[in-house]
């Protein structure tokens, strides 16, 4: 086992940006005049639904795998994920020429399972309501000598995810507020490292599903709160608790945690499809769903929103918005 890595800093986000340069897309930051007219605020959307494999997770995965030494590369990587982290690790491993084993729930969206296998990874299934994916991942790592890369609680993953907010601020200038989806907190903590350094006055907010507000409770109670797997359409944010690294950064650098209901997520999916002509998965709508509700407090201000991903079966998308 490797020693515990130090907590990531903004310098690690900058280093990650160098490693992913030329491999990850520099995704567009889009605006909507109609929305700005409606709300009186100015919205800037960082569109990670257009990232490689369809979500920001490619950033953290590629950064983490780029840090492997020769022996780690040869043996390969193992990851557990409800979907996007799996695809991100599988694609990154393929690009870097190493084997990947992915532990996925047996009810993971078909599109995500197929994509993971399509990138050449071996998929091992488990039951997300009765089995512990972390234990399965750790056992595989030990048995096969693989390096486990967790979906969020890892310094190289956090640093990689932070590059999305870094690019957004580079693209659109300083922000007054930044809204970020929250599952286990990799994206939020990385974003906070970038935003604190680049836009010191920017308020930073996490947004998680109403059905699973463990992050909000953890933030307010000052300890990591564990919950049962929440039932929500936001399948990328069905996490049961924050991580040690992510919680420390979130409690230090984040201003507050908000929630969004499934109904608000569906409204946001409709908004993105109708007004901005883009398909965003339910989890990818979390940040906007809360930002839209809170926009009256931000009249005349510049609000950054990270749209985290776009991987949703078309049939499922139609059922939800129909």
Ligand X SMILES: *Cc1c(COP(=O)(O)O)cnc(C)c1O
User: Would you tell me which residues interact with ligand X (CB under 6 A)?
Assistant: 55, 57, 84, 151-152, 181-188, 236-237, 239, 281, 283-284, 308-309
Closest residue by Cα to residue 195 from 212, 172, 229, 222: 172
Residue nearest ligand X, Cβ-based: 309
Report, in Å, the least distance between residue 35 CB and ligand X.
Answer: 20
| 255 in active site | no
Closer residue to ligand X, CB minimum distance, 109 or 185: 185
Query: Cβ of 277: how many Cβ atoms within 10 Å?
Result: 8
| 212 in active site | yes
Q: Which of 183, 212, 304, 310 is catalytic?
A: 212
Report, in Å, the least distance between residue 3 CB and ligand X.
Answer: 23
Query: Is residue 309 classed as helix, strand or coil in its secondary structure?
Result: strand
Report, in Å, the least distance between residue 157 CB and ligand X.
Answer: 8
| 57 in active site | yes
Q: What is the dihedral of CA 136, 123, 282, 60, to 10 degrees?
A: 80
Closer residue to ligand X, CB minimum distance, 76 or 212: 212
Task: Tell me the residue length of the chain.
Answer: 322
Q: Which of 66, 183, 308, 310 is catalytic?
A: 308
CA 293, 84, 234 angle in degrees (round to 5)?
35
Report, in Å, the least distance between residue 109 CB and ligand X.
Answer: 11
Closer residue to ligand X, CB minimum distance, 10 or 288: 288
Q: Which of 12, 48, 167, 208 is catalytic?
A: 208
| 208 in active site | yes
Query: Is residue 6 classed as helix, strand or coil in its secondary structure?
Result: coil
Closer residue to ligand X, CB minimum distance, 19 or 57: 57
Q: Which of 153, 214, 262, 281 is catalytic?
A: 214
Report, in Å, the least distance between residue 300 CB and ligand X.
Answer: 29
116 neighbors 123 (Cβ within 8 angstroms): yes
Closer residue to ligand X, CB minimum distance, 235 or 267: 235
CA 267 to chain centre: 20
Query: Cβ of 173: how many Cβ atoms within 10 Å?
Result: 12
Closer residue to ligand X, CB minimum distance, 210 or 281: 281
Report, in Å, the least distance between residue 188 CB and ligand X.
Answer: 6
Both tokens of 257, joined, read 């945690």
Q: Which of 29, 66, 81, 82 is catalytic?
A: 82
Q: Which of 48, 57, 66, 183 is catalytic?
A: 57
| 82 in active site | yes
Both tokens of 213, joined, read 């507000």
284 neighbors 307 (Cβ within 8 angstroms): yes
Report, in Å, the least distance between residue 75 CB and ligand X.
Answer: 25
Question: In whole angstroms, what is the distance from residue 285 CA to residue 137 CA?
Answer: 29
| 92 in active site | no
Query: Cβ of 211: how many Cβ atoms within 10 Å?
Result: 17
Question: In whole angstroms, what is the distance from residue 153 CA to residue 165 CA?
Answer: 18
> Residue 80 forms beta bridges with which residues?
103
Closer residue to ligand X, CB minimum distance, 84 or 218: 84
Question: In whole angstroms, what is the distance from residue 252 CA to residue 255 CA?
Answer: 8
Question: In whole angstroms, what is the distance from residue 120 CA to residue 86 CA?
Answer: 11
Catalytic amino acids? 57, 82, 208, 212, 214, 308
């Amino acid at each position: 086992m490797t020693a515990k890595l130090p907590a990531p800093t903004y310098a690690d986000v900058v280093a990650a940006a160098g490693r992913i340069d030329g491999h990850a897309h520099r995704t567009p930051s889009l605006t909507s005049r109609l929305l700005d007219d409606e709300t009186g605020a100015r919205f800037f959307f960082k569109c990670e639904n257009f990232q490689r494999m369809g979500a920001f997770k490619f950033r953290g995965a590629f950064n983490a795998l780029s840090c492997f030494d020769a022996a780690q590369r040869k043996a390969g990587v193992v990851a557990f994920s409800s979907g996007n982290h799996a695809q991100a690790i599988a694609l990154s491993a393929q690009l870097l020429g190493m084997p990947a084993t992915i532990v996925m729930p047996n009810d993971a969206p078909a599109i995500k399972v197929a994509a993971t296998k399509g990138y050449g990874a071996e998929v091992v299934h488990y039951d997300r309501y009765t089995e512990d994916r972390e234990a399965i991942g750790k056992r595989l790592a030990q048995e096969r000598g693989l390096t486990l890369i967790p979906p969020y609680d890892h310094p190289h993953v956090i640093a990689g995810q932070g590059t999305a907010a870094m690019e957004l601020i580079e693209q659109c200038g300083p922000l007054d507020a930044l809204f970020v989806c929250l599952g286990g907190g990799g994206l939020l903590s990385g974003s906070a490292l970038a935003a604190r350094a680049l836009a010191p006055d920017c308020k930073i907010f996490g947004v998680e599903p109403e059905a699973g507000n463990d992050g909000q409770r953890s933030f307010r109670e000052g300890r990591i709160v564990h919950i049962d797997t929440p039932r929500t359409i936001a399948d990328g944010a069905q996490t049961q608790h924050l991580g040690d690294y992510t919680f420390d950064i979130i409690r230090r650098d984040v201003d507050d945690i908000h929630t969004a209901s499934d109904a608000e997520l569906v409204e946001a999916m409709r908004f993105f499809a109708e007004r901005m002509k883009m398909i965003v998965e339910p989890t990818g709508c979390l940040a906007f769903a809360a930002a839209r509700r809170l926009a009256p407090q931000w009249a005349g201000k510049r609000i950054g929103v990270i749209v985290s991903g776009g991987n949703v079966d078309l049939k499922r998308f139609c059922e939800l918005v129909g």
